[in-house]
Amino acid sequence: MSLVSPEWAMWLSPWVLGLLGLCIGSFLNVVIYRLPLMLEREWLSDTAEFLQDKAMLKRGLGAADKRVNEIAGFAEGLGAESEARPSLSLSRPRSRCPHCGHVLAWHENLPVIGWLRLRGRCSACKAPFGARYPIVEAATAALFATIAWHFGPSTATLVYLAAVALLIALAMIDFDTTLLPDGLNFALMGLGLTAAWQHWTPVSLPDAALGLLFGYGSLWALATAYQLLRGRRGMAEGDFKLFAALGALLGWQQLLPIILLSSAVGAVVGIYMVLARRHGREVPIPFGPYLVGGGLAALFFGQQLLLTLYPMLAG
């Protein structure tokens, strides 16, 4: 971990990074809303294209099978449906009200302030905008400022800012859709390994690489054992990748504190949800937000967690 040059240090103060966090939080709201829609449109059109391939269907089902035309016809409809969905990217089109389509003016789009001035309602149709938009912006700002304050003007601060932005997007997308997009998980893994390799963070490259392997392997083994015992999957592949990415970012030593913290909080919330009958026992509860929470705790309190945990395990 190295310090950045003095002329850059002022740009990494808690105030400056807190303000940057507000803007990044605003962008994360767009990512959280649009990325799953973009991926769904892509999957729909890929699947449609795949199933329209009659030669492939005939190879799979037999040339005489009547279902070949049925499936290809169905896939054509699916393709048309995916085409009819609005084409989105993270930068285009401009943010608009999901109810009436009113395009937000720049001052309505200001992080937190825009929402407060509108009192959380669309200026055109008065439909409410969820409070989570300003909450995501404020939380990003708070985390950015905390990183600046905790890690000082260093390369580690820059790495953790990028990591926290990815983690917020992952947690919220998992919460909304129970998906953890590969692109975000892989970006976090790449960031962790590169940072360790370049000595941008205090984690060594072997610790980061072992974190990646053990992170993926341990949850894979746990999920496989669970599946053998209970006959259904308790966890998805995205969770293994997210845990692996946290291992790459923070080193293998932090994997145990992260999984213990996230399982403890996840179990309490899960039991509450089942008891409150808000959630069937069979409905998968997204685990990503808890892993992200455990990861953030390890980022800020990693050393304390290790000092508490390992003597306890050693007896």
Q: Residue 160 Cβ, how far from Zn ion at the closest point, in Å?
A: 37
3-state secondary structure at position 51: helix
Residue 60 vs 128, nearer CB to Zn ion: 128
Residue 61 vs 100, nearer CB to Zn ion: 100
What distance in Å separates the CA atoms of residue 109 and residue 88, rounded to the nearest whole number? 18
Q: Residue 203 Cβ, how far from Zn ion at the closest point, in Å?
A: 46
Contact between 163 and 200 under an 8 Å Cβ cutoff? The reply is: no
Q: Residue 141 Cβ, how far from Zn ion at the closest point, in Å?
A: 26
Q: Residue 89 Cβ, how far from Zn ion at the closest point, in Å?
A: 22
Total residues contacting Zn ion by CB under 5 A comes to 8
For residue 246, state whether it binds Zn ion (rule: CB under 5 A).
no
Residue 134 vs 294, nearer CB to Zn ion: 134
| One character per residue 54-93, x = contact with Zn ion (rule: CB under 5 A) | ----------------------------------------
What distance in Å separates the CA atoms of residue 89 and residue 68, rounded to the nearest whole number? 34
Binder of Zn ion out of 59, 99, 121, 233 (CB under 5 A): 99
Residue 100 vs 105, nearer CB to Zn ion: 100
Q: Residue 95 Cβ, how far from Zn ion at the closest point, in Å?
A: 11
For residue 100, state whether it binds Zn ion (rule: CB under 5 A).
yes
What distance in Å separates the CA atoms of residue 310 and residue 315, rounded to the nearest whole number? 8
Residue 129 vs 200, nearer CB to Zn ion: 129
Return the residues of window 120-159 that contact Zn ion according to CB under 5 A: 122, 124-125, 127
3-state secondary structure at position 43: helix
Q: Quick one: which segment of 56-64, 66-74, 101-109, 305-313 binds Zn ion (CB under 5 A)?
A: 101-109
Contact between 90 and 30 under an 8 Å Cβ cutoff? The reply is: yes
Nearest alpha-carbon partner for 215 in 245, 180, 185, 170: 245
* DSSP letters for 137-158: HHHHHHHHHHHHHHH-SBHHHH
Residue 104 vs 255, nearer CB to Zn ion: 104
What distance in Å separates the CA atoms of residue 22 and residue 2, rounded to the nearest whole number? 26
Question: Position 104: which residue type?
Answer: L
Q: Quick one: which segment of 102-110, 135-143, 213-221, 290-298 binds Zn ion (CB under 5 A)?
A: 102-110
Burial code of 296-306, b = ≥16 C-beta within 10 A, e = fewer? bbbbeebeebb
CA distance readout (Å), 6 to 10, 20, 151? 7, 19, 15
Binder of Zn ion out of 51, 68, 97, 248 (CB under 5 A): 97
For residue 260, state whether it binds Zn ion (rule: CB under 5 A).
no
Q: Residue 199 Cβ, how far from Zn ion at the closest point, in Å?
A: 50
The region that residue 119 occupies, defined by phi over 0 for left and psi between -120 and 50 for alpha, beta otherwise, is left
Question: Position 215: which residue type?
Answer: G
Residue 102 vs 199, nearer CB to Zn ion: 102
Residue 131 vs 221, nearer CB to Zn ion: 131
Binding site for Zn ion (CB under 5 A): 97, 99-100, 102, 122, 124-125, 127
